[in-house]
Protein backbone atom coordinates (compact mmCIF):
# COMPACT_ATOMS: atom_id res chain seq x y z
CA UNK A 1 0.00 0.00 0.00
CA UNK A 2 1.42 3.43 -0.94
CA UNK A 3 1.52 5.67 2.08
CA UNK A 4 0.24 9.24 1.72
CA UNK A 5 3.02 11.69 2.60
CA UNK A 6 2.70 13.21 6.07
CA UNK A 7 1.51 16.83 6.06
CA UNK A 8 4.29 19.44 6.32
CA UNK A 9 2.93 20.79 9.58
CA UNK A 10 2.83 18.08 12.25
CA UNK A 11 -0.66 17.35 13.53
CA UNK A 12 -1.28 17.44 17.28
CA UNK A 13 -2.64 14.05 18.28
CA UNK A 14 -5.40 13.93 20.90
CA UNK A 15 -3.91 13.28 24.32
CA UNK A 16 -5.28 11.36 27.30
CA UNK A 17 -3.79 14.08 29.50
CA UNK A 18 -6.43 16.64 28.52
CA UNK A 19 -9.89 17.02 27.03
CA UNK A 20 -8.59 16.42 23.48
CA UNK A 21 -8.36 12.69 24.22
CA UNK A 22 -10.82 12.20 27.08
CA UNK A 23 -14.60 11.80 27.21
CA UNK A 24 -15.13 13.85 30.39
CA UNK A 25 -17.95 16.34 29.70
CA UNK A 26 -21.26 17.84 30.74
CA UNK A 27 -22.60 14.55 32.15
CA UNK A 28 -19.76 14.32 34.67
CA UNK A 29 -20.01 18.04 35.50
CA UNK A 30 -23.73 17.63 36.24
CA UNK A 31 -23.24 14.55 38.43
CA UNK A 32 -20.31 15.99 40.39
CA UNK A 33 -22.23 19.25 40.88
CA UNK A 34 -25.23 17.29 42.17
CA UNK A 35 -22.96 15.39 44.55
CA UNK A 36 -21.47 18.60 45.93
CA UNK A 37 -24.90 20.22 46.28
CA UNK A 38 -26.13 17.16 48.20
CA UNK A 39 -23.63 18.01 50.94
CA UNK A 40 -22.55 14.37 51.35
CA UNK A 41 -19.30 13.22 49.74
CA UNK A 42 -18.99 10.07 51.85
CA UNK A 43 -19.60 6.95 49.73
CA UNK A 44 -20.85 4.86 52.63
CA UNK A 45 -23.87 7.18 52.85
CA UNK A 46 -24.23 8.80 49.41
CA UNK A 47 -25.89 7.30 46.30
CA UNK A 48 -23.18 7.72 43.64
CA UNK A 49 -20.77 5.00 44.74
CA UNK A 50 -23.67 2.56 45.02
CA UNK A 51 -24.93 3.42 41.52
CA UNK A 52 -21.41 3.12 40.11
CA UNK A 53 -20.76 -0.37 41.44
CA UNK A 54 -24.25 -1.54 40.40
CA UNK A 55 -23.70 -0.14 36.89
CA UNK A 56 -20.29 -1.74 36.46
CA UNK A 57 -21.57 -5.06 37.84
CA UNK A 58 -24.31 -5.04 35.20
CA UNK A 59 -21.92 -4.07 32.41
CA UNK A 60 -19.48 -6.84 33.28
CA UNK A 61 -22.10 -9.41 34.26
CA UNK A 62 -20.71 -10.01 37.76
CA UNK A 63 -22.67 -9.93 41.02
CA UNK A 64 -20.19 -7.94 43.13
CA UNK A 65 -18.14 -4.80 42.51
CA UNK A 66 -16.20 -2.80 45.11
CA UNK A 67 -14.95 0.72 44.37
CA UNK A 68 -11.58 1.89 45.69
CA UNK A 69 -9.01 4.64 45.29
CA UNK A 70 -6.76 3.23 42.53
CA UNK A 71 -5.84 0.22 40.47
CA UNK A 72 -3.07 -0.42 43.00
CA UNK A 73 -5.64 -0.39 45.81
CA UNK A 74 -7.77 -2.80 43.77
CA UNK A 75 -4.84 -5.23 43.51
CA UNK A 76 -4.05 -4.72 47.19
CA UNK A 77 -7.64 -5.53 48.16
CA UNK A 78 -7.57 -8.62 45.92
CA UNK A 79 -4.35 -9.96 47.46
CA UNK A 80 -5.63 -9.22 50.97
CA UNK A 81 -8.90 -11.00 50.19
CA UNK A 82 -6.93 -14.12 49.21
CA UNK A 83 -5.17 -13.68 52.59
CA UNK A 84 -1.71 -15.22 52.01
CA UNK A 85 0.43 -16.36 54.92
CA UNK A 86 3.80 -14.54 55.17
CA UNK A 87 6.19 -16.08 52.66
CA UNK A 88 3.47 -17.56 50.44
CA UNK A 89 4.23 -17.16 46.76
CA UNK A 90 2.10 -15.22 44.32
CA UNK A 91 2.91 -15.71 40.65
CA UNK A 92 2.80 -12.52 38.62
CA UNK A 93 4.24 -11.10 35.42
CA UNK A 94 7.59 -9.51 34.67
CA UNK A 95 5.94 -6.83 32.51
CA UNK A 96 3.35 -4.82 34.40
CA UNK A 97 2.81 -1.66 36.40
CA UNK A 98 4.51 -1.50 39.82
CA UNK A 99 1.06 -0.93 41.34
CA UNK A 100 0.29 -4.56 40.54
CA UNK A 101 3.37 -5.80 42.41
CA UNK A 102 3.97 -3.84 45.63
CA UNK A 103 0.63 -4.92 47.17
CA UNK A 104 1.94 -8.50 47.15
CA UNK A 105 4.87 -7.45 49.35
CA UNK A 106 2.65 -5.30 51.60
CA UNK A 107 0.64 -8.45 52.32
CA UNK A 108 3.83 -10.35 53.25
CA UNK A 109 3.84 -12.58 50.18
CA UNK A 110 6.62 -13.14 47.64
CA UNK A 111 6.05 -12.02 44.03
CA UNK A 112 7.31 -14.80 41.77
CA UNK A 113 7.80 -13.55 38.22
CA UNK A 114 6.62 -15.67 35.30
CA UNK A 115 8.09 -15.06 31.86
CA UNK A 116 5.90 -13.70 29.05
CA UNK A 117 5.13 -14.62 25.46
CA UNK A 118 7.54 -12.62 23.30
CA UNK A 119 4.81 -11.74 20.79
CA UNK A 120 2.17 -10.38 23.22
CA UNK A 121 3.99 -9.53 26.46
CA UNK A 122 1.40 -11.62 28.33
CA UNK A 123 2.03 -14.51 30.72
CA UNK A 124 0.91 -17.91 29.43
CA UNK A 125 -0.25 -21.19 30.97
CA UNK A 126 3.24 -22.58 30.28
CA UNK A 127 5.22 -19.73 31.84
CA UNK A 128 2.92 -19.80 34.87
CA UNK A 129 3.08 -23.61 35.26
CA UNK A 130 6.86 -23.29 35.24
CA UNK A 131 6.72 -21.22 38.45
CA UNK A 132 4.07 -23.13 40.43
CA UNK A 133 5.27 -24.69 43.69
CA UNK A 134 3.46 -26.04 46.73
CA UNK A 135 3.80 -22.53 48.20
CA UNK A 136 1.85 -20.84 45.37
CA UNK A 137 -1.14 -19.07 46.90
CA UNK A 138 -2.44 -17.15 43.88
CA UNK A 139 -1.72 -16.12 40.30
CA UNK A 140 -2.05 -12.54 39.06
CA UNK A 141 -2.28 -12.04 35.30
CA UNK A 142 -2.10 -8.67 33.52
CA UNK A 143 -3.95 -8.32 30.22
CA UNK A 144 -1.19 -6.14 28.78
CA UNK A 145 -2.23 -3.07 26.76
CA UNK A 146 -5.77 -4.51 26.55
CA UNK A 147 -4.82 -7.81 24.92
CA UNK A 148 -6.46 -10.74 26.76
CA UNK A 149 -4.22 -13.46 28.16
CA UNK A 150 -5.14 -16.98 27.10
CA UNK A 151 -7.52 -17.43 30.03
CA UNK A 152 -8.78 -20.83 28.81
CA UNK A 153 -5.34 -22.38 29.16
CA UNK A 154 -4.43 -20.39 32.29
CA UNK A 155 -7.64 -21.37 34.13
CA UNK A 156 -7.03 -25.02 33.23
CA UNK A 157 -3.60 -24.91 34.89
CA UNK A 158 -4.86 -22.92 37.90
CA UNK A 159 -8.03 -24.96 38.45
CA UNK A 160 -6.11 -28.23 38.30
CA UNK A 161 -4.08 -27.03 41.30
CA UNK A 162 -6.94 -25.15 43.01
CA UNK A 163 -5.01 -21.86 42.80
CA UNK A 164 -7.09 -18.66 42.66
CA UNK A 165 -6.46 -16.30 39.74
CA UNK A 166 -6.62 -12.51 39.99
CA UNK A 167 -7.03 -10.72 36.66
CA UNK A 168 -5.44 -7.31 36.37
CA UNK A 169 -7.72 -5.60 33.86
CA UNK A 170 -6.41 -2.06 34.49
CA UNK A 171 -5.58 -1.80 30.77
CA UNK A 172 -8.29 -4.07 29.43
CA UNK A 173 -11.82 -2.75 30.07
CA UNK A 174 -14.36 -4.86 28.14
CA UNK A 175 -11.69 -6.90 26.33
CA UNK A 176 -12.95 -10.41 25.62
CA UNK A 177 -11.37 -13.83 25.46
CA UNK A 178 -13.48 -16.22 23.36
CA UNK A 179 -16.59 -14.08 23.83
CA UNK A 180 -16.28 -13.65 27.62
CA UNK A 181 -15.12 -10.44 29.26
CA UNK A 182 -11.78 -10.36 31.05
CA UNK A 183 -12.22 -9.94 34.77
CA UNK A 184 -14.82 -12.73 34.81
CA UNK A 185 -12.51 -15.75 34.43
CA UNK A 186 -10.56 -15.62 37.67
CA UNK A 187 -11.77 -15.26 41.25
CA UNK A 188 -11.19 -11.49 41.24
CA UNK A 189 -10.86 -8.79 38.56
CA UNK A 190 -9.10 -5.45 39.15
CA UNK A 191 -9.57 -2.23 37.16
CA UNK A 192 -8.02 1.25 37.27
CA UNK A 193 -9.70 4.62 36.67
CA UNK A 194 -6.44 6.57 36.59
CA UNK A 195 -6.18 9.53 34.17
CA UNK A 196 -4.84 7.55 31.21
CA UNK A 197 -7.23 4.58 31.38
CA UNK A 198 -10.27 3.94 29.15
CA UNK A 199 -12.52 5.81 31.59
CA UNK A 200 -11.25 7.97 34.41
CA UNK A 201 -11.85 9.91 37.58
CA UNK A 202 -8.20 11.01 37.76
CA UNK A 203 -7.53 8.21 40.23
CA UNK A 204 -9.77 5.29 41.15
CA UNK A 205 -10.24 1.55 41.04
CA UNK A 206 -12.87 -1.18 40.80
CA UNK A 207 -12.70 -4.78 41.99
CA UNK A 208 -15.04 -7.52 40.77
CA UNK A 209 -15.86 -11.00 42.02
CA UNK A 210 -18.57 -13.61 41.73
CA UNK A 211 -17.63 -15.06 45.12
CA UNK A 212 -19.72 -13.69 48.01
CA UNK A 213 -17.12 -14.44 50.71
CA UNK A 214 -14.38 -12.70 48.72
CA UNK A 215 -16.73 -9.76 48.08
CA UNK A 216 -17.22 -9.41 51.82
CA UNK A 217 -13.44 -9.42 52.44
CA UNK A 218 -12.84 -6.94 49.61
CA UNK A 219 -15.48 -4.59 51.00
CA UNK A 220 -14.05 -4.84 54.50
CA UNK A 221 -10.46 -4.34 53.31
CA UNK A 222 -11.20 -0.97 51.68
CA UNK A 223 -13.19 0.12 54.77
CA UNK A 224 -10.63 -0.36 57.59
CA UNK A 225 -12.27 -3.78 58.05
CA UNK A 226 -15.15 -2.08 59.85
CA UNK A 227 -18.31 -4.12 59.60
CA UNK A 228 -20.71 -1.40 58.45
CA UNK A 229 -24.26 -2.64 58.93
CA UNK A 230 -23.29 -5.62 61.11
CA UNK A 231 -25.18 -6.09 64.40
CA UNK A 232 -21.93 -5.79 66.42
CA UNK A 233 -19.43 -4.15 64.08
CA UNK A 234 -15.73 -4.19 64.85
CA UNK A 235 -12.41 -3.72 62.98
CA UNK A 236 -12.00 -7.36 62.09
CA UNK A 237 -8.46 -7.47 60.63
CA UNK A 238 -5.51 -5.38 59.38
CA UNK A 239 -6.61 -3.13 56.53
CA UNK A 240 -6.81 0.42 55.19
CA UNK A 241 -9.20 3.12 54.08
CA UNK A 242 -9.21 2.83 50.28
CA UNK A 243 -12.63 4.40 49.72
CA UNK A 244 -13.35 6.72 46.80
CA UNK A 245 -15.25 9.89 47.64
CA UNK A 246 -18.61 10.71 46.10
CA UNK A 247 -16.84 13.30 43.92
CA UNK A 248 -14.97 10.48 42.21
CA UNK A 249 -17.82 7.99 42.08
CA UNK A 250 -20.18 10.64 40.64
CA UNK A 251 -17.60 11.41 37.96
CA UNK A 252 -17.11 7.69 37.24
CA UNK A 253 -20.87 7.26 37.01
CA UNK A 254 -20.84 9.80 34.17
CA UNK A 255 -17.99 7.97 32.47
CA UNK A 256 -19.48 4.48 32.70
CA UNK A 257 -22.12 4.67 29.92
CA UNK A 258 -19.40 6.01 27.61
CA UNK A 259 -17.14 2.97 28.13
CA UNK A 260 -18.53 0.67 25.39
CA UNK A 261 -18.23 3.52 22.85
CA UNK A 262 -14.70 4.29 24.01
CA UNK A 263 -13.58 0.70 23.55
CA UNK A 264 -15.38 0.37 20.19
CA UNK A 265 -13.81 3.60 18.86
CA UNK A 266 -10.34 2.38 19.87
CA UNK A 267 -10.97 -0.94 18.14
CA UNK A 268 -12.13 0.71 14.92
CA UNK A 269 -9.12 3.02 14.74
CA UNK A 270 -6.75 0.18 15.64
CA UNK A 271 -8.17 -1.94 12.80
CA UNK A 272 -7.66 0.98 10.41
CA UNK A 273 -4.11 1.49 11.70
CA UNK A 274 -3.42 -2.23 11.12
CA UNK A 275 -4.41 -1.71 7.48
CA UNK A 276 -2.39 1.47 7.05
CA UNK A 277 0.77 -0.11 8.47
CA UNK A 278 0.46 -3.40 6.60
CA UNK A 279 3.37 -2.71 4.22
CA UNK A 280 5.71 -0.93 6.61
CA UNK A 281 9.04 -2.75 6.72
CA UNK A 282 10.15 -4.14 10.07
CA UNK A 283 6.92 -3.09 11.82
CA UNK A 284 4.43 -5.61 13.19
CA UNK A 285 0.99 -4.45 14.37
CA UNK A 286 -0.45 -5.67 17.72
CA UNK A 287 -1.31 -9.35 17.64
CA UNK A 288 -4.99 -10.25 18.01
CA UNK A 289 -5.74 -13.84 18.95
CA UNK A 290 -8.58 -15.35 16.87
CA UNK A 291 -11.83 -15.12 18.82
CA UNK A 292 -10.53 -12.46 21.23
CA UNK A 293 -11.18 -8.72 21.31
CA UNK A 294 -8.41 -6.28 22.23
CA UNK A 295 -9.32 -3.15 24.21
CA UNK A 296 -6.35 -1.12 22.85
CA UNK A 297 -5.32 0.80 25.94
CA UNK A 298 -2.24 1.49 23.85
CA UNK A 299 -1.19 0.39 20.37
CA UNK A 300 2.04 -1.57 20.88
CA UNK A 301 4.09 -2.13 17.72
CA UNK A 302 6.73 -4.83 17.46
CA UNK A 303 9.82 -3.61 15.68
CA UNK A 304 12.27 -6.03 14.12
CA UNK A 305 15.79 -4.72 14.80
CA UNK A 306 17.14 -7.04 12.08
CA UNK A 307 15.16 -4.96 9.55
CA UNK A 308 15.20 -1.52 11.20
CA UNK A 309 18.71 -0.68 12.42
CA UNK A 310 18.52 0.63 15.99
CA UNK A 311 15.10 -0.99 16.50
CA UNK A 312 12.36 0.74 18.53
CA UNK A 313 14.66 3.46 19.94
CA UNK A 314 15.79 4.60 16.50
CA UNK A 315 12.21 4.67 15.24
CA UNK A 316 11.05 6.60 18.33
CA UNK A 317 13.77 9.22 17.71
CA UNK A 318 12.58 9.73 14.13
CA UNK A 319 8.95 9.98 15.23
CA UNK A 320 9.83 12.58 17.85
CA UNK A 321 11.09 14.83 15.04
CA UNK A 322 7.52 14.96 13.70
CA UNK A 323 5.98 15.45 17.13
CA UNK A 324 4.87 11.85 17.68
CA UNK A 325 5.50 10.53 21.18
CA UNK A 326 6.18 6.81 21.49
CA UNK A 327 7.69 4.69 24.22
CA UNK A 328 10.32 2.06 23.40
CA UNK A 329 10.49 -0.76 25.99
CA UNK A 330 7.26 0.36 27.80
CA UNK A 331 8.50 -0.12 31.43
CA UNK A 332 12.15 0.17 30.31
CA UNK A 333 13.28 -2.95 32.19
CA UNK A 334 11.65 -6.09 33.55
CA UNK A 335 9.96 -5.40 36.90
CA UNK A 336 12.38 -7.70 38.73
CA UNK A 337 15.27 -5.43 37.68
CA UNK A 338 13.79 -2.51 39.66
CA UNK A 339 15.65 -1.63 42.86
CA UNK A 340 12.82 -2.73 45.09
CA UNK A 341 13.37 -6.34 43.93
CA UNK A 342 17.09 -6.20 43.12
CA UNK A 343 17.99 -4.69 46.49
CA UNK A 344 14.96 -6.07 48.37
CA UNK A 345 14.05 -2.63 49.72
CA UNK A 346 10.96 -3.04 51.86
CA UNK A 347 10.34 -2.19 55.51
CA UNK A 348 13.29 -0.43 57.16
CA UNK A 349 16.36 -2.55 56.58
CA UNK A 350 14.53 -5.81 57.25
CA UNK A 351 14.15 -6.96 53.59
CA UNK A 352 10.98 -8.65 54.86
CA UNK A 353 9.16 -10.58 53.37
CA UNK A 354 12.04 -11.45 50.98
CA UNK A 355 13.76 -13.01 54.03
CA UNK A 356 11.13 -15.75 53.85
CA UNK A 357 11.64 -16.46 50.15
CA UNK A 358 12.93 -19.73 48.73
CA UNK A 359 15.91 -19.32 46.36
CA UNK A 360 14.04 -20.13 43.15
CA UNK A 361 11.30 -17.60 43.89
CA UNK A 362 13.78 -14.72 43.74
CA UNK A 363 16.04 -16.08 41.01
CA UNK A 364 15.92 -13.31 38.43
CA UNK A 365 18.61 -14.74 36.11
CA UNK A 366 18.09 -13.45 32.56
CA UNK A 367 17.99 -16.96 31.07
CA UNK A 368 14.76 -17.64 33.00
CA UNK A 369 13.04 -14.76 31.13
CA UNK A 370 13.81 -15.02 27.39
CA UNK A 371 10.32 -13.83 26.33
CA UNK A 372 10.49 -10.81 28.61
CA UNK A 373 13.79 -9.52 27.24
CA UNK A 374 12.79 -10.17 23.64
CA UNK A 375 9.45 -8.40 24.08
CA UNK A 376 10.98 -5.32 25.73
CA UNK A 377 13.73 -5.12 23.10
CA UNK A 378 11.12 -5.01 20.33
CA UNK A 379 8.11 -3.13 21.63
CA UNK A 380 7.34 0.47 20.67
CA UNK A 381 4.24 1.73 22.45
CA UNK A 382 2.09 4.27 20.65
CA UNK A 383 -0.34 6.30 22.73
CA UNK A 384 -3.94 5.55 21.83
CA UNK A 385 -7.35 6.96 22.60
CA UNK A 386 -10.92 7.13 21.40
CA UNK A 387 -10.58 10.54 19.72
CA UNK A 388 -8.31 9.52 16.85
CA UNK A 389 -9.72 10.50 13.45
CA UNK A 390 -8.78 9.32 9.96
CA UNK A 391 -6.46 12.34 9.68
CA UNK A 392 -4.66 11.40 12.89
CA UNK A 393 -4.30 7.79 11.80
CA UNK A 394 -3.04 8.70 8.35
CA UNK A 395 -0.54 11.12 9.86
CA UNK A 396 0.66 8.51 12.36
CA UNK A 397 0.91 5.68 9.84
CA UNK A 398 2.57 7.73 7.12
CA UNK A 399 5.07 9.13 9.62
CA UNK A 400 5.91 5.62 10.83
CA UNK A 401 6.25 4.43 7.24
CA UNK A 402 8.53 7.34 6.36
CA UNK A 403 10.68 6.81 9.48
CA UNK A 404 10.93 3.04 8.98
CA UNK A 405 11.85 3.27 5.30
CA UNK A 406 14.43 5.99 6.06
CA UNK A 407 16.06 3.78 8.70
CA UNK A 408 15.96 0.67 6.50
CA UNK A 409 17.88 2.78 3.96
C1 LIG B 1 -1.63 -3.25 34.55
C2 LIG B 1 -1.76 -2.24 35.64
N3 LIG B 1 -1.96 -2.67 36.89
C4 LIG B 1 -2.10 -1.81 37.92
C5 LIG B 1 -2.03 -0.46 37.73
C6 LIG B 1 -2.14 0.45 38.89
O7 LIG B 1 -3.23 1.31 38.76
P8 LIG B 1 -3.22 2.76 39.45
O9 LIG B 1 -2.24 3.62 38.70
O10 LIG B 1 -4.64 3.22 39.28
O11 LIG B 1 -2.84 2.57 40.85
C12 LIG B 1 -1.84 0.05 36.43
C13 LIG B 1 -1.76 1.50 36.19
O14 LIG B 1 -1.17 2.00 35.29
C15 LIG B 1 -1.69 -0.87 35.36
O16 LIG B 1 -1.50 -0.45 34.11
- pLDDT tier at 9 (50, 70, 90 boundaries)? confident
Report yes or no on whether pTM surpasses 0.95: yes
Give the torsion sign (CA, 268, 269, 270, 271): positive
- Summarize pLDDT for 72-83 with one digit per residue, the tens: 999 999 999 999
- Summarize pLDDT for 129-169 with one digit per residue, the tens: 999 999 999 999 999 999 999 999 999 999 999 999 999 99
Distance (angstroms) between ligand 1 centre and the Cα of 391 equals 30
Q: Alpha carbon of 232 to those of 217, 229, 238, 240: distances in Å?
A: 17, 8, 18, 20
- Summarize pLDDT for 253-305 with one digit per residue, the tens: 999 999 999 999 999 999 999 999 999 999 999 998 889 999 999 999 999 99
Do 222 and 243 touch, CB atoms closer than 8 A? yes
Closest residue by Cα to atom 12, ligand 1, is 97
Q: Report which ligand 1 atom has the smallest distance to the Cα of 96.
A: 1
Mutating to test ligand 1, I would choose from 99, 140, 188, 297 the residue with most ligand atoms within 8 A of its C-beta, which is 99
Cβ < 6 A, ligand 1 pocket: 70-72, 75, 96-97, 99-100, 142, 168, 170-171, 192, 194, 205
Share of the chain above pLDDT 90, in %: 96
| Confidence check: pLDDT of 8 > 70 | no
Distance (angstroms) between ligand 1 centre and the Cα of 274 equals 26
- pLDDT tier at 7 (50, 70, 90 boundaries)? low
- pLDDT tier at 2 (50, 70, 90 boundaries)? low
Do 256 and 27 touch, CB atoms closer than 8 A? no
- pLDDT tier at 392 (50, 70, 90 boundaries)? very high
- Summarize pLDDT for 312-353 with one digit per residue, the tens: 999 999 999 999 999 999 999 999 999 999 999 999 999 999
Mutating to test ligand 1, I would choose from 17, 77, 79, 100 the residue with most ligand atoms within 8 A of its C-beta, which is 100
Distance (angstroms) between ligand 1 centre and the Cα of 71 equals 5
More confident residue, 322 or 5: 322
Question: Which of 245, 243, 225 is CA-nearest to residue 235?
Answer: 225
- pLDDT tier at 1 (50, 70, 90 boundaries)? low
Distance (angstroms) between ligand 1 centre and the Cα of 346 equals 20
Distance (angstroms) between ligand 1 centre and the Cα of 254 equals 21
Distance (angstroms) between ligand 1 centre and the Cα of 35 equals 27
Distance (angstroms) between ligand 1 centre and the Cα of 167 equals 12
Mean pLDDT, to the nearest integer, of 201-217? 98
Do 48 and 31 touch, CB atoms closer than 8 A? yes
Amino acid sequence: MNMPLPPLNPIMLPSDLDSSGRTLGDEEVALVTEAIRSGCLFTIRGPYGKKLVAGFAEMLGVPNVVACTSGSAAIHAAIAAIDPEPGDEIITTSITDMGALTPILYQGAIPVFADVDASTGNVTATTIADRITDRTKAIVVTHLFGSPCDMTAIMTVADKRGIPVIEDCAQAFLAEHRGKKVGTFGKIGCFSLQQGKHITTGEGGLVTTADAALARRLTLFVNKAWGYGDPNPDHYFLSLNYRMSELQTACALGQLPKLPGVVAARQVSAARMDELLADTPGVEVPLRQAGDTHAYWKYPLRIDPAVIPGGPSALAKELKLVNIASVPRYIQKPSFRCEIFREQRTLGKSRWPFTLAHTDAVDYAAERFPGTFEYLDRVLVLPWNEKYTEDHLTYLASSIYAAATKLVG
